[in-house]
């Protein structure tokens, strides 16, 4: 099935999608800061440019969008149009993530992934954020 938008319109739509300073990232950062954690953002020198780096705890946090990083949840479902394109694109992202997580682990960093869907529901969000503190400290 062809795209319903022209190439230029699709390009404008895709350019509006932010890769940093997303609402889920900001939520996690505010939570951490309010609990006394200090961090760096988007450190280029580390593999994968982690969203949050907690040097004191030798931990990095990736706040991943379920669709873009291929999470196995409702929000991670691929579109029915251009299926082959999306399977390849998201598959490559999953492989890149695995490689980056492996490199970070080899460098001695603890890798923590927070999924966008974990922050949508209020009860899940509270549980995930309090578990995040335990993950960082352990």
Q: Which fold has domain 19-137?
A: Endonuclease; Chain A (3.40.960)
59-64 and 52-54 beta bridge pairing: antiparallel
Q: Please, which residues have CB within 8 angstroms of residue 129's CB and are 6 or more apart in sequence?
A: 28, 31, 119
Model pLDDT for residues 50-100, shown as the tens digit of each residue: 999 999 999 999 999 999 999 999 989 998 888 999 999 999 999 999 999
Copy the structure tokens of residue 60. 């990095």
Copy the structure tokens of residue 18. 């932010």
Domain ranges of the chain: 19-137
Copy the structure tokens of residue 33. 């800061």
This prediction has a pTM of 0.85
Give the whole-angstrom CA distance, residue 54 versus residue 41: 9
Q: Is the pLDDT of residue 19 over 80?
A: no
């Amino acid at each position: 099935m062809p795209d319903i938008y022209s190439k230029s319109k699709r390009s404008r739509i895709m350019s509006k999608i932010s890769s940093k300073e997303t609402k889920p990232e900001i939520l996690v950062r505010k939570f951490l800061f309010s609990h006394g954690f200090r961090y760096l953002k988007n450190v280029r020198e580390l593999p994968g440019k982690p969203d949050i780096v907690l040097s004191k705890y030798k931990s990095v946090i990736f706040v991943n969008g379920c669709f873009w990083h291929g999470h196995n949840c409702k929000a991670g479902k691929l579109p029915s149009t251009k299926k082959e394109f999306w399977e390849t694109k998201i598959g490559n992202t999953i492989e890149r993530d695995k490689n980056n997580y492996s490199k970070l682990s080899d460098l001695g960093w603890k890798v923590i992934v927070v999924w966008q869907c974990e922050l949508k529901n209020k009860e899940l969000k509270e549980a995930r954020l309090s578990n995040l503190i335990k993950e960082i400290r352990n």
